[in-house]
Structure 1
Amino acid sequence: MDIDQKIKDMAEHLYPEMVKCRRDLHRHPEAGWTEFRTASMVIQELESLGYEVHFGREVIDGSQQMGLPAKDVMDACMERAVEEGANEKLVAAMAGGRTGVVGILRTGRPGKTVALRFDMDCNEVEEAKDEKHRPYREGFFSLHPGCMHACGHDGHTTAGLAVAKILAGLKDELTGTVKFIFQPAEEGVRGARAMAAKGVVDDADYLLGAHLMMPPVGFLGYDVRGFLATTKFDADFTGVPAHAGGMPECGKNALLAAANAAINIQGITRHSKGVTRINVGVLNAGTGRNVIPAHAHMEVETRGATTEVNDFVQKRAEEILKGAAMMYDVKVQFIQTGGAASGNNSPELSAHVRKTAERLCIFNRLEEVHDIGGSEDCSYFMERVQKHGGQAAYLIIGGSLAAVNHNNYFDFDERALVLEAQLLSTVACELVKG
């Protein structure tokens, strides 16, 4: 029996197990940097398969973490994870939100190093609870208020573990090394930078990532281009309160500084090297109609066709915010809460994936996906591998979604997991041979 057939049979055999795993994860969603139960489960599964496993401080650079939850939130999530079956020692070792996991399969034979990346976190969305929503109807809806797997990361983690099981079963037939990267905090593009900075993909010759999306099962987007670089940051203005009628001259108005900045950053010059985006999504200020506002909180995101273009927009936005603060004699402080590099597939690797998919005959639509317009922090891994001379590709897997990503009725056809596991396992087996 050839290796393609072995992988197909193993993926099909794992389907009931994948459904069970995915639904368990869907039932227990964990937001970015709090994936203690999920990561604990991943660690234990990889160890049981004989993988060399690294996690916590080994794979997360704490100085590069963005958008961490408050300590009391983190502590509560750690307690909840243990209550829901997570290994207490493993959870403790991931304190501070260091919930990344890397599993390494070393064959001991010469070959290439292939990295596969899977994200684990959920969205902060309240899941629909009515009969037309399958997870509710069939009893695997979220147990955690305000948290839901509304972007398919429960499926990504499940597919990653299935591929790990398939490749462990084929270890004696493989060469080289395969690295499994289970990443926290993709939502808000917060997590990949801290793992990339730790060097987890620096030895990778190839990197593959994938995402379940709206097209029907059987769709494969094999050449993804146009991820926008992005920066997410908060700006907090601090002024001086005063009575608005009695002594307005004693106040320093943080609200007016923030409002002035919000309007003016919309006029940032476009860039000749590519498209740009900027948005003020949140602006909160003030305590009462007769009080000069002393505080204003703004949440901003910038995007650009390349990291260079995005850096230009971000720099100009911060200059305008500082200028507005100076105009109103208030202070402003910035905190970066997320970010991603720009990203494009390596053409050679995209072509290889297409060729493999055509041979396997498991997808009925193979398409290029260009000008994707959004951002994904897998781009940090892609950029790092490509800068080291390697190749990277991001794939879109059709999931026949019940609703768009991030919607509270989100669900996907679990048959997509079989196709994803089969494709990634086959491509990895080919790439390690070089």
Structure 2
Amino acid sequence: MMISAKIKELIQQYSNELIELRRKLHSEPELSWEEVKTTAFICDYLEQLGIPYRKTEPTGVIAEIKGGKPGKTVALRGDMDALSVEELNKDLPYTSKEEGKMHACGHDAHTAMLLIATKALNEIKDELTGNVRLLFQPAEEVAQGAKEMVKQGAMQGVDNVFGMHIWSQMPTNKIACQSGPSFAAADLFKVTFKGRGGHGAMPHDCIDAAIVASSFVMNVQTIVSRTVDTQSPAVVTVGKMDVGTRFNVIAENAVIEGTVRCFYPETRDYIEKQLQHYAESVANIYGATAIVEYTRGTQAVINEKVSAKLVQQVAIAAFGEDALYAEKPTMGGEDFSFFLEEAPGCFALVGSGNPEKDTEWAHHHGKFNIDEDALVTGAELYAQYAWAYLKTI
């Protein structure tokens, strides 16, 4: 069977607990690498279920359900960190208790859904042909948690890995998982220009770093618009510019920070080189100097074809043909990519946008919230994917 009727029954049975778990986690957000209470809560929950686990350092949990029959190992990942965002949903009974911290991206839902999926899978473990590895991951928002969990053995012996993200831009309960690019590689760059400062009334004696930096910002967009292959999507965004010290002083220094997003390695390499070239060329025009620091963040999330097809089949079997949704790839970043470097797998999106419940706000916004009807869908998708993979692959 593609799906388990028992899993569906159990997830429905635990639906109220699922909502309670999510609300508890939402009200107690913890930032990346600070998920101490969340880690302890997950460990306590696993202990009650009798599931062996180990903590990763400094936060995070790896657990495993051993099936009654030998087989492969499939990993399910749920991230759990919050953001430095002030919650604007002050009227919610489960609003954040931590000032300036909020689950503004849905990681509270991911953790709750994976816990309930774990509970359901544990109840039918004797029927499982293989094992289910459970990855409760910290620090996704700073693109470090997955890589660190891999270093600490999270993917050893894993044959396939599956993750998902609640998605406010899709209607509630719709599921998207196409093969190929899903999330973009997300890099950071910092350019430091040095000119020669002086009096604002005597620009002829100076090299104005503000002019140099402004010229760079205006010209750097042509890397994408005029030099990158139009069939290779890419984004270069300058998000921060720190120039000068005083209104009547010519700026000696300027620091620019931004991000690069793309899907293909050759595009990534090319843009990195072009940023260096543009910065040095602009600096040379004005007699300034430029130092470029380029930091590679997440890799692109590329869904493996067989795994993505399995998600689609599971979704249809569990929720019907209408559940599938054709969502376009996003330029957002996801460090799930580091798990995919270790084993084939895929990453799905589960819709939670509902205008009647005011849950269509963008991720990372202070009014972000989810339609809790999507929780059952996500929890079941986790569990049914693991069941199907172990039964059919």
Q: Same fold (TM over 0.5)?
A: yes
For the Cα contact (< 8 Å) 1:230–1:310, is it kept in 2? no
For the Cα contact (< 8 Å) 2:105–2:368, is it kept in 1? yes
Q: Aligned runs of 1:38-187 on 2, under 5 Å?
A: 38-57=38-57, 94=58, 99-107=59-67, 109-129=69-89, 136-187=90-141
1:339-392 CA deviation, whole Å, 9 max, x = no partner? 22223322222222222222223674213334444332222322432xxxxx31
- The runs of at least 4 aligned residues of structure 1 exceeding 6 Å deviation read none
Match in the other structure for 1:229 = 185
Say which SS state the counterpart of residue 234 (structure 1) adopts.
strand
Report the Cα offset of residue 302 of structure 1.
Answer: 0.9
Report the Cα offset of residue 154 of structure 1.
Answer: 0.9
Output the CA distance in 2 between the equivalents of 1:126 and 1:416.
24
**Equivalent residue for 1:267, pick from 216, 222, 231:** 222
Say which SS state the counterpart of residue 178 (structure 2) adopts.
strand
Change (3 A) 1:30 1:315: farther
Report the Cα offset of residue 155 of structure 1.
Answer: 0.4
Matching of residue 191 in structure 1 with residue 141 in structure 2: no
For the Cα contact (< 8 Å) 1:115–1:181, is it kept in 2? yes
Change (3 A) 1:302 1:140: same
Report the Cα offset of residue 330 of structure 1.
Answer: 4.2
Say which SS state the counterpart of residue 44 (structure 1) adopts.
helix
Report the Cα offset of residue 107 of structure 1.
Answer: 3.5
Task: Decide which moves more: 316-325 or 423-432.
Answer: 316-325
For the Cα contact (< 8 Å) 2:184–2:332, is it kept in 1? yes
**Equivalent residue for 1:395, pick from 341, 348, 352:** 348
Output the CA distance in 2 between the equivalents of 1:247 and 1:431.
68
Counterpart residue type for residue 39 of structure 2: A
Change (3 A) 1:363 1:160: farther
1:137-183 CA deviation, whole Å, 9 max, x = no partner? 34211122222222211101111111121222222222322111222
For the Cα contact (< 8 Å) 1:229–1:341, is it kept in 2? yes
Match in the other structure for 1:70 = none
For the Cα contact (< 8 Å) 1:189–1:339, is it kept in 2? yes
Say which SS state the counterpart of residue 54 (structure 1) adopts.
strand
Output the CA distance in 1 between the equivalents of 2:275 and 2:85.
29
**Equivalent residue for 1:204, pick from 158, 169, 183:** 158
Output the CA distance in 1 between the equivalents of 2:378 and 2:64.
20
Match in the other structure for 1:339 = 297
TM-score, normalized by length of structure 1?
A: 0.78
Aligned length: 380
1:55-113 CA deviation, whole Å, 9 max, x = no partner? 334xxxxxxxxxxxxxxxxxxxxxxxxxxxxxxxxxxxx2xxxx333222234742111
Say which SS state the counterpart of residue 74 (structure 2) adopts.
strand
Change (3 A) 1:50 1:330: farther
Counterpart residue type for residue 106 of structure 1: K
State, as a whole percentage, how many aligned pairs show the same letter.
32
Q: Show structure 1 runs of 5+ residues with no match.
A: 58-93, 130-135, 386-390
Change (3 A) 1:216 1:273: closer
**Equivalent residue for 2:261, pick from 279, 287, 303:** 303
Match in the other structure for 1:19 = 19
Report the Cα offset of residue 41 of structure 1.
Answer: 1.9
Say which SS state the counterpart of residue 261 (structure 2) adopts.
strand
Change (3 A) 1:205 1:224: same
Output the CA distance in 2 between the equivalents of 1:329 and 1:121.
42
Q: Show structure 2 runs of 5+ residues with no match.
A: none
For the Cα contact (< 8 Å) 1:29–1:122, is it kept in 2? yes
Say which SS state the counterpart of residue 315 (structure 2) adopts.
helix
Change (3 A) 1:115 1:243: same
Match in the other structure for 1:414 = 372
Output the CA distance in 2 between the equivalents of 1:400 and 1:202.
36
Counterpart residue type for residue 172 of structure 2: V
1:380-425 CA deviation, whole Å, 9 max, x = no partner? 322432xxxxx31211212134132223222212121112112221
Output the CA distance in 1 between the equivalents of 2:49 and 2:192.
48
For the Cα contact (< 8 Å) 1:257–1:330, is it kept in 2? no
Change (3 A) 1:368 1:232: same
Report the Cα offset of residue 233 of structure 1.
Answer: 3.0
